[in-house]
Amino acid sequence: MQTLHVDLGERSYPIHIGEQLIDRGELLSRHIRGKQVAIVTNDTVAPLYLERLSRSLAGYAITPIVLPDGEAYKDWQTLQSIFDALLTARHDRNTTIIALGGGVVGDMAGFAAASYQRGVDFIQVPTTLLSQVDSSVGGKTGINHPLGKNMVGAFYQPQAVLIDTSTLATLPVRELSAGLAEVIKYGLICDEPFLGWLEENIDKLRGLDQAALTEAIRCSCAAKARVVGADERESGIRATLNLGHTFGHAIETHQGYGVWLHGEAVSAGTVMALEMSRQLGWITVGERDRAVRLLARAGLPVVPPSNMRAEDFLQHMAVDKKVLNGQLRLVLLKRLGEALVTGDFPRELLEATLNVNYDALTQELRT
């Protein structure tokens, strides 16, 4: 097992990474104050891991809360079902909520913990690659709104993150690739040597090589921990973690939540951010193509949906969280390994980026 730390003063917490950690109840019990534990999961993950996690927490009064699986259920109604279960079982302020599942479960359980009785403890036990390298770390919680993704929520840090890499053995291939989009992101925004390591090891990662997965997760979590430690509430550098997300969230919202997986939409959005960075003269065609080729090798889409026009993107991007004082800001690359958040670009250039024929641009890179 490897342990990293998110340094946030009194809100600091550990990230444990290793195999079969779900069975190690002592890693969780040290962060549980009371006798009540609510395990929030979904109907896909529950049959796989709920019983094992419950056994490792023998001695606690456990309330299982099983939600329907999918981004489409990341809403007020499903959140209300968590509160209903907590109140029915009479959970008090010393309860601990454990999120067992992917990013949707983690976001919703975290938001419920931030809100229930004005805040109770929670622990993240992520079971997808995307949640292990991204959403479980950093304290972003929330739900979707029909007009925009993740527009309702709170910053609320967990007590600990327990990453059991062996859970990836049951992850569908499409979900694994979606997680690799976030892994590749770290190389693009802040760690160019890691990008090179990914190019050498992408086939091992897709083949579930445990050593390669552990290293990729460790590097990703270490990068995110550094950024979150420097900017917990996204007032500056943390926003660079959203490379490709403004374009990607527009895709998710327009297509309908869950039609495109989050990582898939981020991948196509990242290609658009790369192209815009190239048009600004910050990266070369070769650098853009290097990144696109790696995304394609990860099994990810590198072309936005054919049914989306520039006007569709602009409509959805207008309600993005990075819009300030009516100005849209985007995460772009000054170079591979260095990102920035900027609103200083001509609108015509953004529209040109949205109107690029990405199918033609990436055709050779996908073969």
| Closest to 175 in 3D by CA, of 212, 206, 196 | 206
What CATH number did the domain enclosing 192 receive?
1.20.1090.10
Cβ 195 vs Cβ 188: under 8 Å: yes
Within 10 A of 242 (CB to CB), how many other CB atoms are there? Answer: 24
Q: Among 168, 196, 221, identify where a domain stops.
A: 168
Joined tokens for residue 360: 């033609």
- The reply to whether 262 sits in an annotated binding site is yes
Q: How far is CA 320 from CA 42, 147, 323, 325, in A?
A: 28, 10, 6, 12
Lowest mean pLDDT, pick from 35-44, 54-63, 320-329: 320-329
Summarize pLDDT for 246-281 with one digit per residue, the tens: 999 999 999 999 999 999 999 999 999 999 999 999
pLDDT at 345 over 90: yes
Please give the average per-residue pLDDT across 330-351, as a whole number.
Answer: 96
- For the annotated catalytic residues, the residue numbers are 118, 140, 182, 224, 234, 238, 242, 245, 249, 262
> Which residues lie closer than 8 Å to 324 by C-beta, 6 or more apart?
343
For residue 253, the model assigns a pLDDT of: 94
Same domain, 213 and 358: yes
Range of the domain at 61: 2-168
For residue 171, the model assigns a pLDDT of: 96
> Cα–Cα distance between 167 and 47 in angstroms, integer?
13
- The reply to whether 191 sits in an annotated binding site is no
For residue 308, the model assigns a pLDDT of: 97
pLDDT at 184 over 90: yes
Please give the average per-residue pLDDT across 111-126, as a whole number.
Answer: 98
Same domain, 225 and 162: no
Same domain, 318 and 194: yes
Q: Among 116, 135, 168, identify where a domain stops.
A: 168
pLDDT bucket at 348, cuts 50 / 70 / 90: very high
Please give the average per-residue pLDDT across 346-351, as a whole number.
Answer: 95
> Cα–Cα distance between 270 and 291 in angstroms, integer?
9
For residue 320, the model assigns a pLDDT of: 80
- Can you spell out the DSSP letters for 194-207? HHHHHHHHHHHHHT
How high is the mean pLDDT of the chain?
A: 96
Please give the average per-residue pLDDT across 346-357, as a whole number.
Answer: 96
> Cα–Cα distance between 313 and 103 in angstroms, integer?
24
- The reply to whether 141 sits in an annotated binding site is no
pLDDT bucket at 298, cuts 50 / 70 / 90: very high
- The reply to whether 140 sits in an annotated binding site is yes
pLDDT at 235 over 90: no
For residue 59, the model assigns a pLDDT of: 94
Joined tokens for residue 173: 């291939």
- The reply to whether 284 sits in an annotated binding site is no
- The reply to whether 182 sits in an annotated binding site is yes
- The reply to whether 104 sits in an annotated binding site is yes
Same domain, 134 and 177: no
Q: Among 168, 197, 221, identify where a domain stops.
A: 168
- The reply to whether 214 sits in an annotated binding site is no
Same domain, 183 and 316: yes
Same domain, 87 and 179: no
Please give the average per-residue pLDDT across 110-137, as a whole number.
Answer: 97
| Closest to 248 in 3D by CA, of 172, 300, 299, 199 | 300
> Cα–Cα distance between 291 and 271 in angstroms, integer?
8
Strands 96-101 and 36-42: parallel
C-alpha radius of gyration, the chain, whole number: 20
Handedness of CA 136, 140, 143, 148 (dihedral sign): negative
| Closest to 54 in 3D by CA, of 44, 45, 63 | 63
Q: How far apart are the first and last CA of the chain?
A: 38
Q: pLDDT > 90: what percent of the chain?
A: 95
- Which value, to the nearest 10 degrees, does the dihedral of the CA atoms of residues 13, 6, 126, 93 take? 30
Exposure string for 223-232, b = 16+ CB within 10 A, e = fewer: bbbbbbbebb
pLDDT at 325 over 70: no
For residue 366, the model assigns a pLDDT of: 86
Global confidence as pTM: 0.94
Summarize pLDDT for 1-17 with one digit per residue, the tens: 999 999 999 999 999 99
Same domain, 156 and 41: yes
What CATH number did the domain enclosing 160 receive?
3.40.50.1970
For residue 52, the model assigns a pLDDT of: 97
Amino acid at 62: I
pLDDT bucket at 321, cuts 50 / 70 / 90: confident
| Closest to 149 in 3D by CA, of 304, 236, 265, 233 | 265
pLDDT at 319 over 90: no
Handedness of CA 356, 361, 366, 367 (dihedral sign): positive
Summarize pLDDT for 155-176 with one digit per residue, the tens: 999 999 999 999 999 999 999 9
3 state SS of 327: strand
